[in-house]
Amino acid sequence: MDSFNNRAWSQLSAEVVSPDGKCCARIAWANEIAMGGPTFGTLEVCEKAFESCNPCMVWSEDSKYLAVAQLHARPTLGRGSCRILVFAVESGRDGYGRQDYMLPCLQEFSKGVITGISLGKQGEPRTFRIPLDTISWQDPDLPM
């Protein structure tokens, strides 16, 4: 687990300011999902709230998007299964990556690609990449 960002596992709150300094994403109080496990709480960003989010979150370099892991129970993956939530600041829309990950830790959001590490089927760390153009947006009829 050395390659995982400690924020995903131990942080009970987080405040991450966008690179342009205009927006702040906050998780005021997060709880562990199991003893020694990662923490999840309510994300507040641009007057919207999202439940079960991990304090390890990343802004895109242009400050237009925020990516965060959101707990998403899936029987096939078990406890700790997450989907990647992406929030579009200008439109207020949110969307999700098409795949679930086991205990992901987001590392970077650069050039339209979210990168991170999650646990593989055997518990080994695995790197993943999610291009922004693969996100399934909620309310697809609304303009971006």
Amino acid at 90: E
pTM: 0.85
Q: Is residue 14 within 8 Å of 7, Cβ to Cβ?
A: yes
> What confidence score (pLDDT) does residue 3 get?
38
> What confidence score (pLDDT) does residue 79 get?
60
- Rounded CA separation 16/105 (Å): 15
If one compares 20 and 73, the residue with the highest pLDDT of the two is 20
> What confidence score (pLDDT) does residue 4 get?
42
| CA-based max dimension of the chain | 42
Average pLDDT on 17-45 reads 83
Average pLDDT on 63-92 reads 84
Categorize the per-residue pLDDT at 84 as very low, low, confident or very high, splitting at 50, 70 and 90: very high
> What confidence score (pLDDT) does residue 133 get?
96
DSSP letter for 124, please. Answer: -
Q: Where are the domains of the chain?
A: 7-136
Average pLDDT on 14-33 reads 87
Q: Is residue 108 within 8 Å of 91, Cβ to Cβ?
A: no
Amino acid at 81: S
Could you write out the DSSP letters of every residue in 15-37? EEE-TTSS-EEEEEEEEESSTTS
If one compares 72 and 49, the residue with the highest pLDDT of the two is 49
| pLDDT single digits (tens) 90-141 | 999 999 999 999 889 899 999 999 999 998 878 889 999 999 999 999 875 6
Average pLDDT on 51-74 reads 90
> What confidence score (pLDDT) does residue 35 get?
66
If one compares 8 and 41, the residue with the highest pLDDT of the two is 41
Q: Which residues lie closer than 8 Å to 118 by C-beta, 6 or more apart?
A: 82, 101, 102, 103, 104, 105, 125, 126, 128
- Give the C-alpha distances (Å, rounded to integers) separating 33 from 24, 48, 91: 25, 23, 32
- Give the C-alpha distances (Å, rounded to integers) separating 61 from 11, 47, 55, 57, 86: 23, 21, 18, 13, 14
Q: Which backbone phi and psi does 18 adopt, to 5 degrees?
A: -60, 155
